[in-house]
Amino acid sequence: MSQYPQCRAIEPDLLSVAAGEAGAAAVGRVEAHVASCGSCREELGQYRALEGMMATVRRAPLPDDDATLARAQLASRLADLRSRMVGFGIFPSPLGPILIGRSEQGVALVQYLPAGGSLPARVQRLLGEDAVEDRDATEGLRAELVEYLEGRRVRLDWPLDLGRMRSEFQRRVLEATAALPYGAVTSYAGIAARIGAPSAVRPVAQALRWNPLPIVIPCHRVIGTSGALTGYAGRRVELKQRLLAVEGVKTVAAHHDFKVDREAMYTMVTGDTEYCVPTCGSLLSRSLSTLTLFGTREVAEAAGFAPCTSCRPDLHPLPA
């Protein structure tokens, strides 16, 4: 048929008619054409036969058409994927853009983001390739975190997914840190002592540096033995100062850093059950590595500690 222009022009209609897809107009055109063109009539017959043959093939059982194995494997791979998969949301906060990610087990990731909200490579690595943006899954967490940052909430009772720990050591460090009460401060050396590794002060600081869950696991409550805040979220020590201020911890500015004002903090020997004013006994001259500090009496008592019976911080509180 290709030798005649009118035959070439009718071919798409011919194919549509054979497949039963053609509208009335195309059917009319084809009928008119094949009434006078024998070779196109023959082709139409062939296309119709072909359609019939394809319908037979379509209905015929396929060899190897058994999806049972693939379905079973898929079910187990989906279950595995679900347990690993992180849904995350990015939102503004008083401390700048923050990402929260949660898996089936619990909250897996809290990360400060640079202004603009882009994802640094490190955060992408932590999220893993199966992460999906899912604001709905993190909306409740977002609301609670904002309340926390505004001082309207003192606890984040979230189930945690600790699957992103770098080592068993880091897990121990972060568990000890998670046990620090709201408004309390201790030192890196203090955490090292708590996990039974008193000489591992630098490894403790490193473990906290890679905390996947800052704020929730309150690494901001861990400071240098000198009282200096020393570092936070890269070079953003001012965030640490703000988090501590929300919890009632008083700090003073000290060249490119802040320092906790020990004379303004209630003080307790770690492991003891009573808290004191800082001038009780020889507390002010003791290393911070054996002490826990509280910004207010309320947070010390909320954490279950009693006022010392000799210095009586309940009767002689520090000036507010």
Partner 1 sequence: MGRVMAEDAFEAVVGAHHAEIRRYLLRITARGSDADDLSQETFLRAFRAYRVLPPGANVRAWLFTIATNLGRNHFRAQGRRRRAYAAAAMEMRPDAPDRADGQVLAEEARTRLERVITGLPAKQRLAFIMRKMHELEYSEIGASLSCSEESARAHVFQALRKVRRSLDGHLPVEMESRS
In the stretch 109-148, what mask flags binding to partner 1 with x, by CB under 8 A?
---------------------x-xxx-xx-----------
Contact between 71 and partner 1 by CB under 8 A: the answer reads: yes
Work out how close the CB of 118 gets to partner 1 at its nearest, in angstroms, rounded to a whole number.
Answer: 19
Q: Which is nearer to partner 1, 75 or 254 (CB)?
A: 75
Work out how close the CB of 90 gets to partner 1 at its nearest, in angstroms, rounded to a whole number.
Answer: 14
Work out how close the CB of 132 gets to partner 1 at its nearest, in angstroms, rounded to a whole number.
Answer: 6
Work out how close the CB of 133 gets to partner 1 at its nearest, in angstroms, rounded to a whole number.
Answer: 7
In angstroms, the CA 186 to CA 126 distance is: 28
Work out how close the CB of 304 gets to partner 1 at its nearest, in angstroms, rounded to a whole number.
Answer: 32
Spell out the SS3 assignment of the chain. Answer: CCCCHHHHHHHHHHHHHHHCCCCHHHHHHHHHHHHHCHHHHHHHHHHHHHHHHHHHHHHCCCCCCCCHHHHHHHHHHHHHHHHHCCEEEEECCCCCCEEEEECCCCEEEEEECCCCCCCCHHHHHHHCCCCEECHHHHHHHHHHHHHHHCCCCCCCCCCECCCCCCCHHHHHHHHHHHCCCCCEEEEHHHHHHHCCCCCCHHHHHHHHHCCCCCCCCCHHHEECCCCECCCECCECHHHHHHHHHHCCCCEEEECCEEEECHHHCEEEECCCCEEECCCCCCHHHCCHHHEEEECCHHHHHHCCCEECCCCCCCCCCCCC
Contact between 15 and partner 1 by CB under 8 A: the answer reads: yes
Q: Which is nearer to partner 1, 62 or 320 (CB)?
A: 62
Contact between 25 and partner 1 by CB under 8 A: the answer reads: no
Contact between 87 and partner 1 by CB under 8 A: the answer reads: yes
Contact between 157 and partner 1 by CB under 8 A: the answer reads: no
Q: Which is nearer to partner 1, 9 or 81 (CB)?
A: 81
Work out how close the CB of 217 gets to partner 1 at its nearest, in angstroms, rounded to a whole number.
Answer: 23
Tell me which of 7, 37, 40, 219 is the catalytic residue.
Answer: 219
Q: What residues contact 101, with CB distance under 8 A and at least 6 apart?
A: 86, 87, 88, 107, 108, 109, 110, 111, 126, 127, 131, 138
Whether 219 is catalytic:
yes
Contact between 10 and partner 1 by CB under 8 A: the answer reads: no
Contact between 168 and partner 1 by CB under 8 A: the answer reads: no
In angstroms, the CA 144 to CA 210 distance is: 23
Within 218-277, the residues that bind partner 1 by CB under 8 A are none
Instruction: State the number of binding residues for partner 1 (CB under 8 A).
Output: 41
In the stretch 34-63, what mask flags binding to partner 1 with x, by CB under 8 A?
----x--xxx-xxxxxx-xxx-xxx---x-
Q: Which is nearer to partner 1, 43 or 257 (CB)?
A: 43
Instruction: Give me the residues that bind partner 1 (CB under 8 A), please.
Output: 11-12, 15, 38, 41-43, 45-50, 52-54, 56-58, 62, 64-67, 69-71, 73-74, 77-78, 81-82, 85, 87, 130, 132-134, 136-137
| Residues taking part in catalysis | 219
